[in-house]
Structure 1
Amino acid sequence: MTTPPRISCVILCHNYGRYLDRAIASCLDQEPGGYALHEIVVIDDGSTDETEEVCRRYRDRVRIVRRDCQGFGRTLTDAFLLTDGDWVAPLDADDWFHPAKLRICAEAITDGRLFIEHWENVVDADGCLLIADPHPGGNTSTLLVQREAALALLPVTNEIFFHALREAGHGRVLPVSLVHYRVHSHNMTDRRTPGVSQYYRADVCTALAHRLRTMAAEPPAWATATALRRMSHRFHAQAAGHRVEAHVQTGDRHACPHPLAAMLVGTIRSCSPPGPWLRAFASAVTGRPQAPLRELDNSGAGDTESDRSNTRA
């Protein structure tokens, strides 16, 4: 009989003590299935609120890693370095898992699959639904990542780095909501100020594009050098697209030609469909944002408070 996959649940927390109890309980209350809950780890990234007190209540069932604040990227990187399960299920401490999260994701694990993503229910600070229908995922709490494959991408600044596994053809998206994703005034990513979220994602995609280009010199087992270079061009195109959107949101359309050109080059070199470039071009011409300021997005921006100041730079 095949050994069931061992899953490490890792909760990323910085001053989210008011939400942490529910996050931990959601990991402990997972339905049984074709997996082994290998460990639950809370990484307390220098919290100064009630986080330590909440952690003490669970110290017999959960491993606590408490350290000085090092930021979201370092904390997400450590979610893979400090665990040894076959798969890692990261969870922002202000979110909580559906009881069937691990069971359903485990059913999607097959040979060659390295990345599983699912949808989310979007809720407000009090846990009440903001959007009636499930919303596509992509952010930290909607992922299950094969740990060994992820190690090649470390260190990361954002969970978008792990999306490279999906781009390499080793992922699956489950159109079922398996997490409650909380949107509130202390989310790391500022989605209300025009351009801020888009510039942040552009920087993340640019960093990932550079990483993939470097990795092509010594490809990991899950991708060839040619595939890594093509993916690098694709993420460069995505970064340029985010910059176009940021310029449109901020009313700075005269700055759009350069990123539009970069986006077109990246699209051609990655052999990607032209649809995103055409939509970006139309947005730049009309001055209408593709995605007007809204409460959330599915592009994978981390939501731990640690790096809020960095996203506003």
Structure 2
Amino acid sequence: MNSLPRISCVILCHNYGRYLDQAITSCLEQEPGPYVLHEVVVIDDGSTDETEEVCCRRKSEIRIIRRNRQGFGRTLTDAILLGSGDWVALLDADDWFHPAKLRTCAEAMTRETLFIEHWENVVDALGRPKLNEPHPGGNTSTLLVHREAALSLLPVSNEIFFHALREAGQGLALQDPVTFYRVHPRSMTDRSTPGVSQDYRAEVCIALADRLQAMCGNPPPWTTTRRLARISQHFRALASGHRVESSLQRGERLSALLIIPGMLNETIWARDPIIPWFRSLCSAIAGRPHVRLTTGQEQSTHS
């Protein structure tokens, strides 16, 4: 690169005021490296708690966007629209960055890189370790996206939309756990009600698959029509996998088995590895969910 990448840290907040100060500090106190911290933006999505007070205390250090409640998808979309750096580092306000986050990611950037994800440390409401080992990421606070490429995917309903950049061969996956992901009773994601989380993920994957299919007539610079079609099928296969899991979590084994043939067809068209389909098949035959529901982080029941 001819110049250092400018990174916008954009914090998404709705009623997470009790955690927000730590999130802001974690962005401002990043280790130096081959990047420029362009700005720290807080999008306050209609919070009714102490979020406004926290923002006022830090207003000289951050840019604040405060508006009526519009929901997660709109806030995530605005994070890309309002961030003005070359890259956007997304952060849910109840999480925080390790001091080496931006340096580690910037050191891995290349001209071809448009998407970076990394692992995370899972902690409880008080910030204490919840898992003994780092956990693979993929959620909002573990992603950096190249803003120009991300704009082509807007509007989005979930961070999964940005995973399309990885599937197009423009992404990096780092095993460095440089985000602290907080699991607590007031987390937005319901992981305790059977099927709810998986149904939501399936809906997001279908919406993304439809969007990518619609883009085939005028593909963005980061991919081709043929690859878009394949990526679309990839997310349809993922959606089917989530639906199998949802059915099994609700004890509907027959429904899970009926999804399996379509998932195989989608997997073949996407030229995806067969292992995820085979795992779903085994789970459906056994009538046993692959994911064990907990009040915290979802955990696989399979080795």
Aligned to 1:79: 79
DSSP 3-state at the match of 2:80: helix
1:162, distance to aligned residue in structure 2 (A): 0.3
Amino acid at match of 1:80: I
Q: Deviations over 1:212-252 (max 9, x none)?
A: 10111100000100000000001001001100000011101
* 1:2-151 correspondence runs (5 A): 2-151=2-151
Q: 2 CA distance for matches of 1:258 and 1:76?
A: 34
Q: Deviations over 1:254-282 (max 9, x none)?
A: 21233212211110111111111111111
Amino acid at match of 2:149: A
DSSP 3-state at the match of 1:216: helix
1:25, distance to aligned residue in structure 2 (A): 0.4
Contact 2:114 2:149 in 1 (8 A): yes
Amino acid at match of 2:7: I
List gaps (5 residues or longer) in structure 1.
Answer: 299-313
**TM-score normalised by L of structure 1:** 0.94
Aligned to 2:163: 163
Residue-pair matches, total: 298
**Over aligned residues, Cα RMSD in angstroms?**
1.1
- Verify: 1:296 aligned to 2:297, yes or no: yes
Structure of greater relative contact order (alpha carbons < 8 Å, 6+ residues apart)? 1
1:297, distance to aligned residue in structure 2 (A): 4.6
DSSP 3-state at the match of 1:129: coil
Query: Structure 1 stretches (4+) deviating beyond 6 angstroms?
Result: none
Q: 1 CA distance for matches of 2:208 and 2:59?
A: 36
Amino acid at match of 1:17: G
Aligned to 1:209: 209
Q: 2 CA distance for matches of 1:272 and 1:115?
A: 20
1:288, distance to aligned residue in structure 2 (A): 0.9
* 1:184-203 correspondence runs (5 A): 184-203=184-203
Q: Deviations over 1:192-231 (max 9, x none)?
A: 1111111010000000000110111100000100000000
Q: 2 CA distance for matches of 1:128 and 1:257?
A: 40
Distance 1:108 1:297, change over 3 A: farther
**TM-score normalised by L of structure 2:** 0.97
DSSP 3-state at the match of 2:189: coil
Choose 258-267 or 153-162, whichever is displaced more.
258-267
Q: 1 CA distance for matches of 2:20 and 2:258?
A: 44
DSSP 3-state at the match of 2:238: helix
Aligned to 1:270: 270
Q: 2 CA distance for matches of 1:128 and 1:201?
A: 27
Q: 2 CA distance for matches of 1:131 and 1:292?
A: 15
Q: 2 CA distance for matches of 1:156 and 1:297?
A: 24
* 1:202-241 correspondence runs (5 A): 202-241=202-241
Q: 1 CA distance for matches of 2:85 and 2:258?
A: 44
Q: 2 CA distance for matches of 1:297 and 1:157?
A: 21
DSSP 3-state at the match of 1:31: coil
Choose 250-259 or 113-122, whichever is displaced more.
250-259
1:184, distance to aligned residue in structure 2 (A): 0.4
Q: Identity of paired residues, percent?
A: 64
DSSP 3-state at the match of 1:256: helix
Q: 2 CA distance for matches of 1:257 and 1:20?
A: 44
Aligned to 1:284: 284
Q: 2 CA distance for matches of 1:110 and 1:80?
A: 20
List gaps (5 residues or longer) in structure 2.
Answer: none
